[in-house]
Amino acid sequence: MKITSAKSLKKANELLRSGDCREVILDFNISADEFFELADRWAEKGAKIKKEDGRFIIRLAK
């Protein structure tokens, strides 16, 4: 499973949409609005979001 970090919301969405990455580390300060937009979009597709070491990680379902 490939793990990649994203420096922006746009990049995180691109990486997840590409299907090449099953895990994306959000390596930027995400606003509450951006977080809930991302959570809404990807949770309906089975993604899990958790905070580890001060950063959010999005994991897509297998």
pLDDT, tens digit (0-9, with 9 covering 90-100), for 1-57: 678 999 999 999 999 999 888 999 999 999 999 999 999 999 988 999 999 999 999
What pTM, to 2 d.p., does this model score? 0.84
Rounded to whole angstroms, the Cα distance separating 57 from 26 reads 6
Rounded to whole angstroms, the Cα distance separating 46 from 40 reads 10
Hunting for tokens 């937009």 — which residue is that? 37
* 60 close to 15: Cβ distance less than 8 angstroms: no
Domain ranges of the chain: 2-60
Q: Which CATH architecture has domain 2-60?
A: 2-Layer Sandwich (3.30)
